[in-house]
Structure 1
Amino acid sequence: MGWGDFWPAAAGWAITWIPVLGPLGILATALVAYFAYRQKLEADRRAQWWVRAQWALEASLSANPRRSLAGLAVLNDLKTSSLATREDRELFRLIGVTAREELLGGGSGSTVREARPGGASTVESGPMPAATSVLADALREQVEKLAGEAGEPSPFLLGTSGTPTVGEAQNH
């Protein structure tokens, strides 16, 4: 086949296949755009998940036990999210183990932390009022859930009867 036969053959091929390749190109472009959109959506959801996780980590380390309870409840809920990776779950479990050791290290008596400027805190022991006892029990429950492998959502986030919601726990 010489150059003289090439151009008529190429023209015949183009007439046959260009009408097919045009729509296939549009379909391929649409698929790429769709997958790019899904990837961006997932990345945005993951970024928002991480913002909530950062808040929960900060709140769980708060000297205010109610804020700490809210942070632990959110951490437990985030741990069960489909956006949480295996590494995230392990990190939350280690945080729970550390918090459990800190709670157990305080002994059976009550301890109240008072925050001081510069990051220092004082610890006072004494009789525990009933409300503080309930709060301490809720903190222990959240820490145990975080340290354990249970994947159930936190009742504090679900707002079940008799338990505060995150907003209520955070505002007191």
Structure 2
Amino acid sequence: MDWGDFWEQAAQWVITWIPVLGPLGILTTAVVAYFGYRQKLEADRRAQWWVRAQWGLEASLSDDPRRSLAGLALLNELKTSSLATAEDRELFRLLAQSIRRELAAGGGSSLPRAEGVRALEAAAPHRASAALREDTLKQLDSLLEPGDPRRRDTPRSGDPVPDIPAEHLQGR
């Protein structure tokens, strides 16, 4: 085989395979771009989830019992998201245990949130504060539940809204 035959065969190979390799290259580029897009989308969604989780954690430790209840309700919703890791759910569970212990102890709280609930009960020992305490305890119990999360990303129409009575969300 001399060089002339080699170049003739190489040219024939290129003529045969270029129509196949061009679309194959385009398809490969499209697949790589799609996976890059999905990775960025997932990272952005996780970052937004974490912003909400930070607010829920801070709110659950708030001095204002209504804000605390809203924070606990948010954490209950966030723990069921597919974006929540096992470590996140464990963090929420430990927070709920700590707040539950403080509420059960009834004194000497190191958590401002529990002091806020006791202050509200001392200032207005009526049905609203008892309902607020009951709702807070329900949210804490829900956070303490082990079990498999529902694994969903976004609320769908018709999904139940966390049970926060309207009187707890009205003006301060």
The TM-score normalised by the length of structure 1 is 0.79
Q: Map residues 1-172 of structure 1 onto 2, 5 A cutoff.
A: 1-106=1-106, 113=115, 126=122, 128-149=125-146, 151=149, 158=161, 163-164=164-165, 169=169, 172=172
* Cα RMSD for the two superposed structures: 2.8
Q: Secondary structure at the match of 2:115?
A: strand
* Corresponding residue of 1:118: none
AA of the residue aligned to 1:113: E
- Give structure 2 stretches of 5+ with no counterpart: 108-112, 153-159
How many Å apart are 1:123 and its aligned residue?
A: 5.9
8 A Cα contact 2:59 2:71, kept in partner = yes
CA gap of 1:124–1:44, structure 2 versus 1, over 3 A, is: closer
- Give structure 1 stretches of 5+ with no counterpart: 115-121
CA gap of 1:85–1:30, structure 2 versus 1, over 3 A, is: same
Q: Secondary structure at the match of 1:158?
A: coil
Moved more, 143-152 or 38-47: 143-152
8 A Cα contact 1:66 1:169, kept in partner = yes
Q: Secondary structure at the match of 2:82?
A: coil
How many Å apart are 1:20 and its aligned residue?
A: 0.3
Aligned length: 155
CA gap of 1:69–1:9, structure 2 versus 1, over 3 A, is: same
How many Å apart are 1:128 and its aligned residue?
A: 2.2
The separation in 2 between residues aligned to 1:139 and 1:49, in whole angstroms, is 22
Q: Secondary structure at the match of 1:101?
A: helix
How many Å apart are 1:134 and its aligned residue?
A: 0.4
The TM-score normalised by the length of structure 2 is 0.79
AA of the residue aligned to 1:9: Q
- Per residue, is there more strand in 1 or in 2? 1
How many Å apart are 1:112 and its aligned residue?
A: 7.4
8 A Cα contact 1:59 1:71, kept in partner = yes
AA of the residue aligned to 1:142: Q
How many Å apart are 1:147 and its aligned residue?
A: 1.6
The separation in 2 between residues aligned to 1:93 and 1:51, in whole angstroms, is 18
CA gap of 1:90–1:112, structure 2 versus 1, over 3 A, is: closer
